[in-house]
Structure 1
Amino acid sequence: MADWLAARVRASPDATALIDAGSEARLTYGDLDERAGRVAAGLAAHGIGAGDRVGSVLGVGPAAVSFVHAVSRLGAVLVPLSPRLTAGEIGARTRRADCKVLVHDGSADVEASTIDGTVRLVALDALDTSEESSAKERGGTTAETGNERNSESSIGETPANGTSTNGVSTGFDDPLVLLFTSGTTGRPKAVVLTVGNVLASAGASAVRLGVLPGDRWLLALSTGSMGGLAPIYRAVLYGTTLVLQRGFDARRTIGALSTYDCTGISLVPTMLSRVLNVVEPDEEGGRECGSDDGDRKEYDGEGEYEGGFPASVRCVLLGGAPASRELVERCRAGDVPVHPTYGMTETASQVATARPDEAFSNPGTVGRPLVGTTVVAVEDGSVLDPGERGELVVNGPTVTPGYYDDREATDEAFSGHGFHTGDLGYVDDDGRVWVTGRLDDRIVTGGQTVDPEEVSRALREHPAVHEAAVAGLDDAEWGERIGALVVPGGPGTAETSERGVSEGDLDAHCRERLAGYKLPRTIAVAHELPRTESGTIDRNAVKARLRATDAG
């Protein structure tokens, strides 16, 4: 059964489930269960049942967490999408996943005209309109008011709208969530993650990171990714508390970690670097915020800050992009318990994770595979010896059964050795995994994966662009940034070609078609694209031209 919230309520109904760092609202597991029951009833009233795919574009908050568990309660399949996507991207993904409804909270550009009437749009607040829910969103909680509560789940209760819903029994092999990832062709692929995948990942992560009953995990990542979604599922399984931060801000993150005695957080390298900028002494011995009289415990994320990294934190799970050795060294120097991890959507998050001592003594490694997971380096179908570099291939209970309605992509991704990640690396003599590069040209910027062809295609849709090549450029803050080399003069636009193409026009054009993290930050113009003798685009020459543009 995937209704893990119902099981948690029977075990510890009065334990704190959620703390909203913005409103300071607190919900017990009993409170959360009641909310999820009402939202499930609201979804059922829209015809949602077992196996239906439910799209969502939501920010971080108690209502979003209730919604995630409501979808599981019905035996439906969650299809979470990032609020950073454009309306066109959202529409394409909801159609690709055959979503029956798309639930939104106004945090993204969701337009009915873009969905083309094939997917029903539903406002999240329309699924649970009870006064009690609204009060708790503003800060009232059962834990604070002292109202009595029994340990029975709300499954089967009939809410005010008259629609009753019961928990649906699901097996380990049943799909729990579909998450989109960018393929090498730019066509969105929906990764199927089963109940068993997510459960195995939660268990293996707990073994590696360690879990205590009083743990509090700060959620600062988007719930449109597995990095943001996994803590929602895991907290209920562990019986721990989830602290919600609505949008990342380095100072507010430090404030939430300190104020709520958080013990863990997931970050991408760009986020962690910004957090360290706040807590590290400057050249004169002070902090970035410049204070000697701030109260570290009560720091609210505004203005001044005193002290190092919050002592309550035992785990900073660092993933989404490779962590530089410099960043790991900053963590060592600042006594930050960083856990570099290697994972992907197709493995329900973590594949391998290094504990701090291992990360500091072996800078660059992502540690050993989690329990139950195997990682090998493969070349030409053969497993390589330790230390030899090849494509990393993963096998184990967390690995997806495949891509939704895409047999070709699934067959291409799997072999007898397991799932082919597309990443280059090796496994050393001690079983540690090292990731050294990528087989293809995908770009990882700020923890987000971008397919260059998707960006190139958007650029070529501009009437003044004939050709475009996109590549990743090294960036100290983001890891990589998007660069684009364009050839002016689309078909029938000789006049435009003679005038050239405006960088501002291209930026405005792309903003209508691409999420912000996919936008080219460096744009150069050429008479033709550099190519190899075989006629393919010479990526190294493209990067050299873009670097020259940056250099001025």
Structure 2
Amino acid sequence: MKGGALVGLFEQTARPDRGFRYGEAEFISYADLFAEAGKLSAALGRLGQRPRFIAAIWMEPSPECYMAFMAIVLANGIPVPLHGNSSAEQVADVLGKLEAEVLLTSSARLDEVLRSEGIAREAGQGTIIVDGITGEAGEGMEASIRPGFRRRERVYTPPEETAVVFMSSGSTGKPKGILLSESNLLSNMASIQASLRLTDEDTVLITKSFGYSSTVTGEWLLALHAGMQIALAPGLLHPLQLVLEIKRSRPTFLCTVPAVLLPLAKSGKWDEQDLQSLTKLIVVGAAMPPETLLQLQMRLPKVEIMPCYGLTEASPRVTCLPAGQLASKSASAGLAIPGVTIAVYREGMPAAPGEEGEIVVNGPNVMLGYYDDERRTANVLTSGGLRTMDRGYMDGDGFLFLTGRTDNAFNVAGHLFHPEMLEKALLSHPAVRESAVTGMPDEISGYRPIAFVIPDQHPVEDERNMVAQLHAYCLNRFTAAGRPKEIIIVRELPRTQSGKPDRTAIQLMAKERNDDLRNGSIAAGTDGY
């Protein structure tokens, strides 16, 4: 695999006139980054690891993260890009789960590494901890590469075609190792390019975590392939920070998530001129309320806004709403991108147009499987294709519409209830920054929907009035079964390692609140502050 297609891409795109811009005036060309990756690869080679060793990357968001990825590939290893905001103990769990031979980290994180009992445990099992820039052992870690050090034993060996492992916890909080091949990554990259048609005159602004397959495939590798410049500004939290960064770095292309766009769309502190460099904006990670997308399009009439759908198991992109279709298909996730096919199945049979069922994906982008989990792999990789566990329907024109997750749905008064539909509606309210809906058992209706809401402004002057407004907002949008029975204002929501709302923990929050109500320790209507 050392001379594989990924290495070829890195070599062919190592241009001195294209590269990463980051910080106030920092620039590193693809040529220089590839040269540094070669040095790091040689240092990794001196560690004496077996071919196809697994190396996790836990560093601050920077060009060096991408250099480390390249170096591991050049050294015939399998990179595992981790979210920069992961805790040391979460990193230790990944090292143990994947039996990782190497952890590449940064000198800035060395103290945290040394204090972590979990990472120390994995080092004792044979994981070598090295500097992610030089490949040398960090101070205090020399013992992990001393002569005679026992190499980590491996119980499970990934398929030979494995090129990268992404850790995806979805909404359950339990990370899964998703095995993707070079063909998976590069075919999806080419399909994304066929749907977006970017050129070497474009610049992509990367703000999302390095741990997402969307960032690696749909931004970094895509940028190399298209010859784009990269403006790197990860970790932006406030919408006005994003506006300032766009004004500074002048990107033409942005791939971002609803959590960033929703507050941006609701803010009146920017105008079209502030984002005038943008020509293409794609939305990934979750569905946005159609009303908000249309509102954003009205404010950015010259920008092609294209919602997309995907999942890490599909490398990740599956659909994209073609430019110019937002006005007529604002609730749609779009059409299958070139080279990928989608179908909707209901009770094992193809569903008719407009009929809801499970979305199934086919194409060269479909993963190899889950790390050391044959049962789960067999459950989703079927003869019919990749079972996504996502629910939706296709209209007569082939456009996909999402309704929710199979494993999130619950029954309300005899109706199958998808919490995502209510969440999307609440998000379209101007006073709501984020929402999460779960179900609590109910003697009469089976389950009752409970909504947790993070307000757009803190603190809320009149919490009871806001809750009443949100109930009224849902009144004409849903039948009685689809309305929240309780709306609770909170400051934050529990999240998974990948940053998504942790639905298991949210359900536990609802249960604990329900228990408190029964015990009389809180009064009905009390918010979650």
If the length of structure 2 is used for normalisation, what is the TM-score?
0.71
Q: Cα distance, 1:430 vs. partner?
A: 0.5
**1:511–1:374 distance in 2 versus 1, CA, 3 Å:** closer
1:361 to 289, 309, 328: 328
The aligned residue for residue 290 of structure 2 is 325
Gaps of 5+ in 1: 130-171, 283-287, 289-304, 454-468, 479-506, 531-544
Q: Give 1:14's aligned amino acid.
A: P
The aligned residue for residue 265 of structure 1 is 254
Counterpart CA distance in 1 for 2:13 and 2:515 is: 68
The aligned residue for residue 337 of structure 1 is 304
Q: Give 1:251's aligned amino acid.
A: L
Equivalence map 1:204-243=2 (5 Å): 204-230=191-217, 231-243=219-231
Counterpart CA distance in 2 for 1:451 and 1:120 is: 42
Q: Cα distance, 1:5 vs. partner?
A: 5.8
**1:440–1:55 distance in 2 versus 1, CA, 3 Å:** same
The aligned residue for residue 191 of structure 1 is 178
The aligned residue for residue 351 of structure 1 is 318
Q: Give 2:224's aligned amino acid.
A: V
Counterpart CA distance in 2 for 1:431 and 1:199 is: 25
Q: Give 2:210's aligned amino acid.
A: T
1:252 to 215, 234, 241: 241
- Between the aligned residues of both structures, percent identity stands at 22
2:128 corresponds to 1:120: yes
**Structure 1 SS opposite 2:378:** helix
Q: Cα distance, 1:267 vs. partner?
A: 0.8
The aligned residue for residue 179 of structure 1 is 166
Q: Cα distance, 1:319 vs. partner?
A: 1.0
Q: Cα distance, 1:58 vs. partner?
A: 2.3
Counterpart CA distance in 1 for 2:393 and 2:241 is: 38
The aligned residue for residue 503 of structure 1 is none
**1:2–1:430 distance in 2 versus 1, CA, 3 Å:** same
Gaps of 5+ in 2: 138-158, 410-418, 428-432, 440-446, 457-490
Alignment check: 8 A CA contact 1:198 1:398 kept: yes
Q: Cα distance, 1:470 vs. partner?
A: 13
**Structure 2 SS opposite 1:178:** strand
Q: Give 1:198's aligned amino acid.
A: L
Report how many aligned residue pairs link the two structures: 427
Q: Give 1:225's aligned amino acid.
A: Y
Alignment check: 8 A CA contact 2:203 2:229 kept: yes
Q: Cα distance, 1:448 vs. partner?
A: 12
The aligned residue for residue 27 of structure 2 is 26
2:396 corresponds to 1:429: yes
Q: Cα distance, 1:11 vs. partner?
A: 5.9
Q: Cα distance, 1:174 vs. partner?
A: 1.6
Q: Cα distance, 1:34 vs. partner?
A: 1.1
The aligned residue for residue 502 of structure 1 is none
Equivalence map 1:7-22=2 (5 Å): 7=9, 9-10=11-12, 13-20=15-22, 22=23
Q: Give 1:419's aligned amino acid.
A: L
Alignment check: 8 A CA contact 1:320 1:448 kept: no
Q: Cα distance, 1:104 vs. partner?
A: 1.8
Q: Cα distance, 1:8 vs. partner?
A: 5.1
Q: Cα distance, 1:76 vs. partner?
A: 1.1
Equivalence map 1:9-88=2 (5 Å): 9-10=11-12, 13-20=15-22, 22-48=23-49, 50-88=51-89
**1:94–1:385 distance in 2 versus 1, CA, 3 Å:** same
Q: Cα distance, 1:546 vs. partner?
A: 12
Alignment check: 8 A CA contact 2:6 2:182 kept: no
Equivalence map 1:128-207=2 (5 Å): 174-182=161-169, 187-207=174-194
Q: Give 2:279's aligned amino acid.
A: R
**Structure 2 SS opposite 1:437:** strand
Q: Cα distance, 1:9 vs. partner?
A: 4.5
Q: Cα distance, 1:87 vs. partner?
A: 2.7
Q: Give 1:63's aligned amino acid.
A: E
What is the CA deviation profile of residues 36-64 of structure 1, one whole-angstrom value per residue up to 9, with x for unaligned ones?
Answer: 11121222223345311111122321111
**Structure 1 SS opposite 2:214:** helix
**1:45–1:470 distance in 2 versus 1, CA, 3 Å:** farther
Q: Give 1:239's aligned amino acid.
A: G
Q: Cα distance, 1:23 vs. partner?
A: 3.8
Alignment check: 8 A CA contact 2:88 2:116 kept: no
**1:277–1:99 distance in 2 versus 1, CA, 3 Å:** same
Alignment check: 8 A CA contact 2:309 2:317 kept: yes
Counterpart CA distance in 1 for 2:390 and 2:378 is: 17
Counterpart CA distance in 2 for 1:104 and 1:546 is: 48
Q: Give 1:121's aligned amino acid.
A: I
Counterpart CA distance in 1 for 2:66 and 2:497 is: 29
Counterpart CA distance in 1 for 2:278 and 2:261 is: 13
The aligned residue for residue 275 of structure 1 is 264
Q: Give 1:86's aligned amino acid.
A: S
**Structure 2 SS opposite 1:88:** helix
Counterpart CA distance in 2 for 1:95 and 1:551 is: 36
Bigger shift: residues 72-81 or 394-403 = 72-81
**1:60–1:511 distance in 2 versus 1, CA, 3 Å:** closer
Q: Give 1:13's aligned amino acid.
A: R
Q: Give 1:75's aligned amino acid.
A: N
Counterpart CA distance in 1 for 2:365 and 2:498 is: 31
Counterpart CA distance in 1 for 2:496 and 2:346 is: 41
What is the CA deviation profile of residues 256-287 of structure 1, one whole-angstrom value per residue up to 9, with x for unaligned ones?
Answer: 32333311111110101233355xxx4xxxxx
Q: Cα distance, 1:342 vs. partner?
A: 0.4
